[in-house]
Amino acid sequence: MKLFFISDIHGSIYYLNKAIEKYIEEKADYLVILGDILYHGARNDLPKEYNPKKVIEVLNKYSNSIIAVRGNCDSEVDEMVLDFPIMSTYSNILYNDKRLFLTHGHIYNEKNPVNLKKGSSFIYGHTHILQAEEKMEYFI
């Protein structure tokens, strides 16, 4: 099983299309979205090619392959137009006998981590910074 992770689309059809292109190229089985799908929020500038309606249209084509969690800019109204659930604060995937803990990052994050077993992964977005690092202090 191959997973493809994205986060913080913020209604940008431009960046979503780039991500979908890579998702297809990678032949991933699931598209994992770590929140902030349709709207940019009051603190953020409008993203390039902001078009939430088009983002809805594109994502709904992949609804049977999407695993998503709620971001701080997502709401119940958004879930009414998307063909997949988004309102969970976190989700878990069991992958190769490991636990992947998925969240957006506005509640659970580096400053407020979840206590996980060694070998698990704590995956979140929210920061708008591409980063991956191993931190053993999160695990018991």
Name the least confident of 34-43, 50-59, 63-72: 34-43
* pLDDT (average), residues 48-67: 97
pLDDT at res. 106 = 95
pLDDT at res. 99 = 94
What is the C-alpha separation between 89 and 86, in angstroms, rounded? 8
Q: Which residues contact 83 (CB under 8 A, 6 or more apart)?
A: 59, 60, 63
Confidence of residue 136 (pLDDT cuts 50, 70, 90): low
Query: Taking CA 139 as the corner, what is the angle to CA 136 and CA 140, rounded to the nearest 5 degrees?
Result: 125
Inter-CA distances, 51 with 9, 39, 48, Å: 10, 9, 9
**Chain Cα centroid distance, residue 126:** 9
pLDDT at res. 140 = 44
Q: Is the pLDDT of residue 54 over 90?
A: yes
Q: What's the CATH architecture for 3-138?
A: 4-Layer Sandwich (3.60)
HSE-CB for 123 with a 13 A CA cutoff: 22
